[in-house]
Structure 1
Amino acid sequence: MAAKSEASGAAASYFRVARPLPSLVTVLVLGYFGWVVFWPESIPYQNLGPLGSFTQYLLKHHHTLMHGGYWLSWMIHVGESLFAIVLCKSKGITNTWTQLLWFLQTFLFGMASLYYLIAFRPKRQKQT
């Protein structure tokens, strides 16, 4: 009986911090994307090499698409975060603070976080 409650207790509060490198990449890309969309005049394009040239091209020829893409990326992060809550409940993660951690981490880092929740396989309790 004690083993069952320990197994369900472990699942109820399962949380794993996302790896730093994919998380950093996500933050940098979204940060750069926001910088491009909201403060394009402050970007040192000439110092960014091919990225600067590509960014200038996108802003000049696809400005509306850049704005829409920026907001779409955040809406995707919101959707991933809500999906994380659904996954938490379906996998037996019932601790409210743990669910909040999954929600926030997934909102900030997207798939870099959600990957671990999708991969989590809780131990199923045997019916007696």
Structure 2
Amino acid sequence: MAGFRVYSVSLVLFQWVVFWPQSIPYQSLGPLGPFTQYLVDYHHTLLCNGYWLAWLIHVGESLYAIVLCKHKGITSGQAQLLWFLQTFFFGIASLTILIAYKQKRQK
């Protein structure tokens, strides 16, 4: 669960760096502060492209989660929607749970 929190905080920080870099208290970020400021000052375009790429990857993972649900026999539309949303917000961390899922065999 702690991994999800760290992941969520890092995604918020990434968004903050891309869209509002002038409002970041770099000195309060510890060792991450100077590195972040360097990236903002010298590689902001790369940060922007990386941000949009991350969202594109999340959309792709989410769509794959729906395909995987159908392949694994999860036919409930609500369950598929929830897997889509969970994978969209948590990415590969969620998708690995779905990949590991094995349906119980009925006799």
Shorter-normalised TM range? over 0.9
Partner Cα separation in structure 1 for residue 62 and residue 30 of structure 2: 34
1:27 paired with 2:8, answer yes
Q: Could you tell me whether the CA contact under 8 Å between 1:105 and 1:113 is conserved in 2?
A: yes
What SS does the aligned partner of 1:122 have? coil
1:45-102 per-residue CA deviation (whole Å, 9 max, x = no partner) reads 0111211100001111111000000000011100110010010000000000000000
1:92 paired with 2:73, answer yes
Letter in 2 for 1:111: I
Structure of higher CA gyration radius: 1
Deviation at 1:26, TM superposition (A): 1.9
Partner Cα separation in structure 2 for residue 123 and residue 52 of structure 1: 49
Count of residues in Structure 1 that have an aligned counterpart in Structure 2:
107
Q: Could you tell me whether the CA contact under 8 Å between 1:26 and 1:110 is conserved in 2?
A: no
Q: Percent identity?
A: 66
Partner Cα separation in structure 2 for residue 51 and residue 23 of structure 1: 20
**Aligned-residue CA RMSD in angstroms?**
1.2
Partner residue in 1 for 2:51: 70
Letter in 2 for 1:102: W
Partner residue in 1 for 2:99: 118
Deviation at 1:39, TM superposition (A): 0.6
1:44 paired with 2:34, answer no
Deviation at 1:29, TM superposition (A): 1.1
Partner Cα separation in structure 2 for residue 46 and residue 25 of structure 1: 20
> Which structure is higher in RCO with an 8 Å CA cutoff and minimum separation 6?
1
Deviation at 1:125, TM superposition (A): 5.2
How does the TM-score come out when normalised to structure 1?
Answer: 0.79
Q: Could you tell me whether the CA contact under 8 Å between 1:84 and 1:106 is conserved in 2?
A: yes
1:104-126 per-residue CA deviation (whole Å, 9 max, x = no partner) reads 00000111211110000113457
In structure 2, the gaps of 5 or more residues are: none
